[in-house]
Amino acid sequence: MELKDIKDPAFLKELSMKELETLAEEIRVFLIENISKTGGHLASNLGVVELTIAMHYVFDSPKDPFIFDVGHQAYTHKILTGRAKDFSTLRQHRGLSGYINYDESEHDLWESGHAGTSISAMHGFLKAKELKGESCDVIALIGDGSVTSGMSFEALNLIGSDPNHKGIIILNDNNMSISKNVGSLSKVLTSLRGNKFISKTRRLLEKISPNFVYKVYRRLKRVFKAFFQANNVFEDLGYVYIGPVNGNSMKTMIKTLKMAKKMKKSVVIHAVTEKGKGFEVAEMDRKGTYHGVSPFDLNTGEMVKKTQAGYASFSEVISEAMIELQKEMNTFVVMPAMLVGTKFEKFYSLYPDRLIDVGIAEEHAATMASAMAREGINVFLPLYATFAQRAYDQIMNDIARSNTKVIFGIDRAGFVGDDGSTHQGLYDVSMFYSMPNVVITMPKDAEEAFNLLRYGFMQDKPFVIRYPRAETMFDKQNLPKFEDIKPLWTTVQKGEEIALISYGPGVSLMEEVAKELGLNGTIINARFIKPMDLETLDEVLKTHKKLLVYEEAYGSGSLYPQILKYMAKMLYKNDIRGMSVEEIIHHGTRLDNQRDAKLTKEDVIKAIKGLYETR
């Protein structure tokens, strides 16, 4: 059928099983072809095609709320709810979001982007429906990586003990989150899946056995499970546990969901799926390379976008710096499920006893890091800026308040482009500025990244080095040498008329602007965002009447308000303008993000001209 003609999922209920299976094949081909052009979350979506069709076949969205944990696995849901025609704009500026989006469809009822929220949200929907006197089913689809988060267990605990509310939780078990899953629950799920021979036998029986024979087989299996296997964690928490079932079998999933719909108690359906199903290189991927992809070659699976020669991502620079640092000292990395994203695979291969992956558990990671640091261990905790927010209380109470030395690598700080509003790394500066004792830094290039990282490990305070989702010049054959630095700003260019203050990628932008305008101005690299270099700031304020502060960060609590506060205290009367983010920034390219935030080179030039017009 023509997928772009789909308006809503109601048509599914009129299709035969064969037609539903054909639809699944068409959707899978459509996803592979479209994502190869736009990029997006590939493997996670290919694995849940049948499962999502079955959900819409059995239940009635939006009357029955569908809650997708994270939301990056909802592409089939988007197609079935009338958005196939928009897939050429996926993750493009003002185009289709790569996640659930309230503004796109009445079927998008829960917008998160961060893992582990779906079961809590389901509890909220159930209670709200009760209070409004409405009757419906609420379905949460959560991955085996997300279910390990503490928030998921908080919600599982409450719903399982509540006889007045029935929720349906579909556990999408593909043995992967972004990277390989870790921890005891992962082992429990592996145990529940059983061995491959039994799994294949079950699938064969599904296909060739008459229905009554297969029902007898299932009853016998339950008897044997009850006899030989202790209750699993979900049954212990009060749920009816169904599974493991083949999540890529349309027939099985429809039968299972219909069974769950009839039950009176809350249900956990353990659906085993194949991540990347239908695209061989994604099926074979065990590192997480094809979880989220840039545009790629349909024939080979190779990414079209290549890192340009002589450059590397800041993530890789920091990872290489950590490897070099081992020649001076022993460090330990606490990694919250981002081994691939933070480019620490090489570090782990060289020092497997110096890194632990704790899974999607930022709060646990922060407190664990604090305890290790209190025992004298040099701990490095890499977090995407957007995920650092999840551990605010633990960082504040267990690290900042007690002035405990933990080194934070805040990755993807600033604009993140096509990941959109839930993943923008714009709030960490304000977050860390609100905490006592924390030093906040940001390098402008690879050499500065090496030196700031080493400087942090030489101190006895909580230390943040934030770095963007961007590339920088980097010669892997001739790595930067560690040099001692002082906690001072640096002067990139000296002039008399105006002072331009920035940090990170903003420094090179200030250089471009100054060159284009021919400014006789000073450019300050404020690489130590907190505490401020007051000596340099005083000098700048005394010698320059006009100042502009540029930050790719949310304006509240960032560097600019701190400078204003200092100026008021010291009675400075300079003409000063701050440029920072003041609103929610959605998906698009990095340049699109800058345009939306009014932080492009053209905006800077306009702001500088405005300062010169000030009398």
Where are the alpha helices (H) located in 285-438, listed in sequence order? 314-325, 345-350, 362-374, 385-388, 392-394, 428-433
Q: In the 8-state DSSP scheme, what is residue 229?
A: S
3-state secondary structure of 53: helix
Q: What is the CA radius of gyration of the chain?
A: 26
Task: Give the C-alpha separation, 286 to 357, whole Å.
Answer: 15
Q: Tell me if residue 362 is catalytic.
A: yes
- Which one from 390, 405, 466, 530 is the annotated catalytic residue? 390
- Which one from 111, 362, 363, 447 is the annotated catalytic residue? 362
Which amino acid is located at 314 in the chain?
A: F
> Sign of torsion, CA 572 578 583 584?
negative
Q: Tell me if residue 565 is catalytic.
A: no
Residue 573 · residue 525 · CB < 8 Å? no
Task: Give the C-alpha separation, 325 to 320, whole Å.
Answer: 9
- Which one from 28, 275, 277, 469 is the annotated catalytic residue? 275
Q: Tell me if residue 345 is catalytic.
A: no
Please provide the DSSP assignment of 321-352 as one string. HHHHHTTT---EEEESS-TTTTT-HHHHHH-G
3-state secondary structure of 368: helix
Burial of 71 from C-beta contacts in 10 A (0-12 / 13-18 / 19+): buried
Written in H, E and C, the secondary structure of 511-535 is HHHHHHHCCCCEEEECCEEECCCHH
Return the half-sphere exposure (C-beta side, CA atoms, 13 A cut-off) of residue 183. 21
Which positions are catalytic?
A: 275, 362, 390
